[in-house]
Amino acid sequence: MNITEIIERGLEQRGYDGLVCPGICGCEKDDLSPGNCLTETCEPGYKHEHTISKDWVISTKQEPISDDDIQRIIDECA
């Protein structure tokens, strides 16, 4: 077992969908750190999907966020 597998299990056990570094990036628990960018600034988060484009973001907020907010987050991280 490696560190990403340990983190994935911990996120899953606690009900999180992935990790986020606000304003920079986010990744799903099933594909953690695809760019080998795992750092101490990553926070657990929840996945939110845009209702039209189906693009998604990981946010520290569990409550639903609007499509406009999802698009804003995507634009900020691009």
Q: Which domain holds residue 48?
A: 3-77
Q: What pLDDT digit, counting tens, does each position of 10-30 carry?
A: 999 999 999 999 888 999 999
Q: What pLDDT digit, counting tens, does each position of 41-61 carry?
A: 999 999 999 999 999 999 999
Backbone angles phi, psi at 68, to 5 degrees: -65, -40
Q: How many domains does the chain have?
A: 1
pTM (global) more than 0.85: yes
Reduce the DSSP state of residue 26 to 3 states and report it. strand
Backbone angles phi, psi at 25, to 5 degrees: -165, 170
